[in-house]
Chain A
Amino acid sequence: MKISVKQAGYTAAAFIFTSALLTKGVYMYLRQDSWVAVILSFLVSLIFVYIYATLNKWFPSKSLIEINEAVFGKIIGKIISAGYLFYFFTLIILNARDISGFVGYILPTTPYVVIMVAFIYTCSWAVRKGAWNIASYGPLIVFVSLFVIMLNGLFLINDIELNRLAPAFTFPPIKYIAGTHLLTALPLCEIFVFFMFVPYLQKADGLGKVLFRGLTVGAAALLFIVIRDIVILGDTLLILSQPTYSVIRLIDVGDILTRVEILYAGILISLMFIKISVLYYATITAAARLVKTSSHDYLIRITGALAVIFGLSVFSAEYEHMDWTNRAAPIYSSFFIMLLPLLTLGTAAIRGLNRKNK
């Protein structure tokens, strides 16, 4: 069965939505002006989505690995594809680390290794069932999450102080650029990974629509969450390690509806599950296409084991992880999801591959 544009689009939204719940990074740069970065990064991401869509139109129903080979030739194409494979794999590690950090926050006595193994194992199970399967329940999880987030916003209406958004536009421009770059490179343009889903889409050149839908829904949710966090928490944003979680902890409707943070924990785990499953799937298909094998089972096991090992040892402390996310990760990501696609598009245009395909 092939994946419809709607299914893939909402699954892509889940991808962005996940990061929307871990928004600590952008607050570090822009505090009460973080919402500006969300809007700017949405606009910048639209440009990149257009680039990805163009590549997809030129090479319909082809995954990233095949496009690389078609554009750069066999050897260079394979080297670039290996780079992408490494990038997808590192994203699994970093996101698995994120979720382990969060679960470790709720279950302080449980060792990371248990959490990581349980989580990666469940994701590997999802990967084994295939892309269509992931895209079938992706929208369901997104709808439930959106509903919970909206409802949470409603329950917190009493704590909202709009003047916490003031003063606006007071930071130096470089901070706006840094914040926008962080949001563009980390959650928004990461939907680039859906390039690996192209062969399974109902419409061979439908990636543009998929990504546009995902980006719009995801960015809207991100904007809502960021504004809600700012107007409720104000300056305390900076001292809390999990601002969104802390916001939801404030919910107390007539002493009856309290401790709803369990819902937040539930949706974060579910969304992270979708995100890691998609990344895991992309890694497996990229590896399988690269080495031209059809035995996915071994690849799934090997990737899972490596993800657990690297996930546990990649950062020695939580602070190191945060520092990487805020400072190094955007640049690292930019290379793969901004620079390389541009380069691919440019080379394809120069080599006249667009015309040939048409």
Chain B
Amino acid sequence: MFSFLMKKAGIFLAKKQGAEGSKEKKEDKPKRLSKKLPENLSVIREIMKGSSDIIIREFYLNLDRIVEGALIMVDGLTDDRIINDNIIYPLMHDARQHLKKTGGDMDIISHIRNSLLSASQVKEETDIDEILNGFLNGDVALLVNGAAKALIISSKGWEKRAVNEPPSEAVVRGPRECFIENLRTNTALIRRKIRNPGLTFESLTVGKKTGTNVCIAYIKGVARQELIDTIKKRLTSIDTDAVLESGYIEQYIEDFPESIFATVGFTEKPDVAAAKILEGRAAIIVDGTPFVLTVPLLFVESFQSAEDYYFRPYFANMLRITRVISYAITILAPALYVAITTFHQELLPTSLLLTTASAREGIPFPAFLECLIMLMTFEILREAGVRLPRPVGQALSIVGALVVGESAVSAGIIGAPMVIVVAITALSSFVTPNEADSAAVLRLILLILGAVLGGFGIAIGLLGTLVHLSSLRSFGYPFLYPIAPFDVEDSKDAILRAPLWLMIKRPKEMSTDIKRQTINVPPTGKDIKDNKGELI
């Protein structure tokens, strides 16, 4: 249904845009620098007219005031120490000596680059757009009179948040660092986990107005080249003005935008991103976002946590099963409650039936309406709790839980079992945070089906969901793999997790280098037995 509506809306909007499209201006050809500094500066001043944060620092490179130069930078994006000590000082002080010695007949830009600047990254540019891009990214642009080239000198240094504990993926055991908004810090966090020369960070710029830096991280020789090519193709085909969060990228590159299920994963933990990269997946790091995208995403990944691999397998598996059950509860509990109380009362044991019936006695609404009211109340409380300042939020949850829940029951508007059902539904939805959004929609669909057709409706709804899920692909990989199509070998890390020493191979078809470790099963058990296999 969603896909049908989206297709129709897409066709309508495309037609409208097609009519207006001819009015759009065509972009100019790239502008080149001229050899005259005043001319170049006036072009840049004209483009950046009205911006108070643009600093243009003009100076002379020698005492005779023959060679003029200018530095262009954005206030607040640069590190003043680097600019003063490593750029301005050598240019104004050391340049005099150098220029005297070498005379005036050399390529001044190359000379400055090779002999004067003590900055780590310097590159030459001739295109004005690239120069603009350079200083808007926090670098300094150096323009010299008589040269049709500029130097972009690395001097980034803006305010950024410290690497602290991940707020939405807190763990009991495992690293407590989290990605931040700065792209380079994020790439460094991954590089620190994977000290392998194959780890590659490929950069792109997305967003015509925001010029957001995006980085694709993968290991050469582990990730499949087709996957990387597909990601690059999809990223470069994004034609939008702004990318403010990785969510923008996610919605532009996913395989099924009309589905309620996301087919691109996200994480704010470097260890999770590193683990996925090591499995042959790719991570997409977007500047300004602490959430790193990972592709391809499989449905089972929503039930996995980094901790599963740090704990021993038995407890980890228990947790995983708990997550699956929680997901089932969060999508099914309200629908099942409504279906059973409305159509299939015989399914309840007699004593439970009597208790439920007496609790619902005098309730003015049918179970379906009662359920909708409670779910809506919960969603309001949750949304309000997120938006309100933290201390008020806590007070609000007490109001919600005690006042609304308790008083609604005692006033006889809502039955006590319904409060329990909605409470357990809400609680379970927090166990699988990555699927919380899809669960909210699915819950409502199943609730309506359960209220109209009872258990049969729920069964139909679940089968429809299964059909939909198995038709989804994430960058070409079946979303339900390794459950549908079922694969025994790759089920070693799906719903259950095998011991680490049994995970000999990477997921099939995800990686070009499938072998992860040599077979040594069990790794240490042989130490306590003698050669005949008897216990010492």
A191 to B347, CA, bound (A): 35
**Interchain nearest-CB distance for A251 vs B (Å):** 13
Whether A346 is near chain B, meaning CB under 8 Å from some CB there, is: no
In this complex, how many residues of chain B approach chain A with their Cβ under 8 Å: the count is: 25
Which of B456, B478, B486 is within 8 Å of A139, CB to CB? B486
Residue A171 at the chain B interface, CB threshold 8 Å: no
For A122, give its contact among B343, B464, B478 (CB under 8 Å). B464
Which 7 A-B pairs give the minimum distances between C-beta atoms? A137-B484, A129-B471, A136-B485, A136-B484, A269-B459, A126-B467, A137-B470
Q: Can you spell out 10 A-B residue pairs with CB atoms less than 8 angstroms apart?
A: A4-B485, A7-B486, A107-B456, A129-B470, A133-B467, A137-B466, A137-B467, A137-B484, A262-B347, A265-B455
Establish whether residues B349 and A110, one from each chain, have CB atoms under 8 Å apart when the complex forms. Answer: no
A140 and B344 in contact, given A115-B456, A118-B453 (Cβ under 8 angstroms): no
Quick one: which of A62-76 are within 8 Å of B by CB? none
A165: chain B residues within 8 A (beta carbon)? none
Would A106 and B459 be within 8 Å (CB), given that A4-B485, A136-B485, A140-B486 are in contact?
no
Q: Are A110 and B454 in contact (CB under 8 A)?
A: yes
| B457 is an interface residue with CB less than 8 A from chain A | yes
Are B453 and A114 closer than 8 Å at their CB atoms? yes
A266 at the interface (CB under 8 A from B): yes
Starting from the known contacts A107-B456, A115-B456, A259-B346, 7 additional A-B residue pairs (CB-CB under 8 Å) come to A7-B486, A107-B453, A122-B460, A136-B478, A140-B486, A269-B456, A269-B459
Cβ-based interface call for A332 (8 A): no
> Can you name the residue of chain B whose Cβ is closest to the Cβ of A255?
B349
Chain A interface residue number, banded: 20 to 34
B463 at the interface (CB under 8 A from A): yes
A268 → chain B closest CB, angstroms: 9
Q: Which of A120-139 contact B (CB under 8 A)?
A: 122, 125-126, 129-130, 133, 135-137, 139
Which residue of the partner chain B has the closest CB to A137? B484
**B483 sits at the interface (CB 8 A):** yes
Contacts of A119 in B (CB 8 A): 460
Is B480 an interface residue when CB atoms closer than 8 A count as contact? Answer: yes
Complex Cα distance, B485 from A139, in Å, reads: 8
Interface residues of B in 426-482 (CB under 8 A from A): 453-457, 459-460, 463-464, 466-467, 470-471, 478, 480
Q: Is A270 an interface residue (CB 8 A)?
A: yes
Report yes or no: A103 in contact with B484, Cβ–Cβ below 8 A.
no
**Interchain nearest-CB distance for A108 vs B (Å):** 10
In the complex, the chain A residue whose C-beta lies closest to that of B486 is: A139
- Residues of B near A118 (CB, < 8 A) are 453, 456-457, 460
With both chains docked as a complex, state the minimum distance between the C-beta of A134 and any C-beta of chain B, in angstroms: 8
Inter-subunit contact B486/A125 (CB<8 Å): no
Q: From B488, which residue of chain A is reached at the shortest CB distance?
A: A6
The listed residue (B348, B453, B460, B478) touching A110 by CB distance below 8 A is B453
Please give, as numbers and ranges, the residues of chain B lying within 8 Å of A115 by CB-CB distance: 453, 456
Query: CB-CB < 8 A to A266: which residues of B?
Result: 455, 459
Interface centre among A125, A130, A136 (most CB of B within 10 A): A136
Known: A107-B453, A110-B453, A143-B486. A269 touches B463 (CB 8 A): yes
Known contacts A4-B485, A119-B460; A107/B467 CB under 8 A: no
Cα of A126 to Cα of B344 in the assembled complex, Å: 28
